[in-house]
Amino acid sequence: MKPLLTDYDERELADLPVICDQPPYRVRQLHKWLISGADFDEMTDLPKQLRARLEETYSATGARIIKVARSSDGTEKYLYSLNDGSLVEGVLMTYKYGRTLCVSTQVGCRMGCAFCASGRDGLFRNLSCGEMLGELTAANARAGDKRVGNVVLMGSGEPLDNYENVTKFIRRLSESGIVGQRSVSLSTCGLTDKVRALADDGFSVTLCLSLHSPFDDRRVKIMPTARRYKVADIMDAARYYFNASGRRVIVEYAMMRGFNTRDEDARELRRLTADFPCHINLIPLNDTDSGLKGVTTKEAHAFLDRLTALGASATIRRSLGEDIEGACGQLKRRYTENSLTEDKTDHND
């Protein structure tokens, strides 16, 4: 497989043998094309000879959309094919303030969370910076003028398990003027050393903690990482990140019937989030055939009322894409299991 040019920033491109003899403006032109998602034949202001040399050695794009599912609420779910044939998913959500793309950071995942479809087969490999950028540029190519303004690293994979590539991607977004760090959210199941590294490395993304239970003995039943990463240590790392970045931390909490919506859960969740700015994002659980049951709308609002009565900042997250199986891993699994033979394009256009 050819190296991917979008894995290189502008400074790194200038050092590549195939282009280092070119004037600096050629490097700027190439970089501009790459971050727009263009392939070599679209780079019309570059000499044909240079384009041919580049194409002989490199790939220009890291991800292409091969299937689209559209929701009645306007949400679009994408199945991407990477250059080695691996499949990942992304979700484009439309809000009043603009468009948000949910980006995958790994092919599969090794965290093993019981409620997540994307990790059922374990981790295959990490995505590179250029492949993640390819997810975004492919979505922008479909969007036209209505480009993505916010990125959430909440697709398949644990972003902090792919720390080097994910942080390079975040920097590339901001340095290239695509999406600023304050418009990027990163969801983690609580790899505390990497949360602290984010703080030490000066990042200002929104940190989202995938908590789902305030008690270690219950959390470990649905999240194997809880054996290593304890709730108290995760919250200490989150506090450390807030003190370094000044950014409010989001606690993600998927409500599961009979498991984590008791009065004692509300009280402990409030205690954990009381001493620094946290917002609790209550999530209606998506059905992923995991055996875990979500709560009714009435039960969800009852739990929300308990939290707010205790003084917590909390809301119920708006569910988008439910009719297209919005949870990560579901479209990929259905596509693979059905062994679709139709042409790999957007069949819904």
Annotated active-site positions, please?
89, 328
300 close to 255: Cβ distance less than 8 angstroms = yes
Identity of the amino acid at 204: S
CA distances from 188 to 40, 172, 179, 192, 195 (A): 36, 20, 20, 9, 8
Q: Torsions phi, psi of 287, nearest 5?
A: -80, 115
254 close to 236: Cβ distance less than 8 angstroms = no
Residue with tokens 């390819």: 134
Q: How far apart are CA 91 and CA 321, in angstroms?
A: 9
For every residue of 294-349, DSSP letters joined together read B--HHHHHHHHHHHHHTT--EEEPPP--GGGT-STTHHHHHHHHHT--S-SS-TT-
- Supply the Cα-derived Rg of the chain in whole angstroms: 21
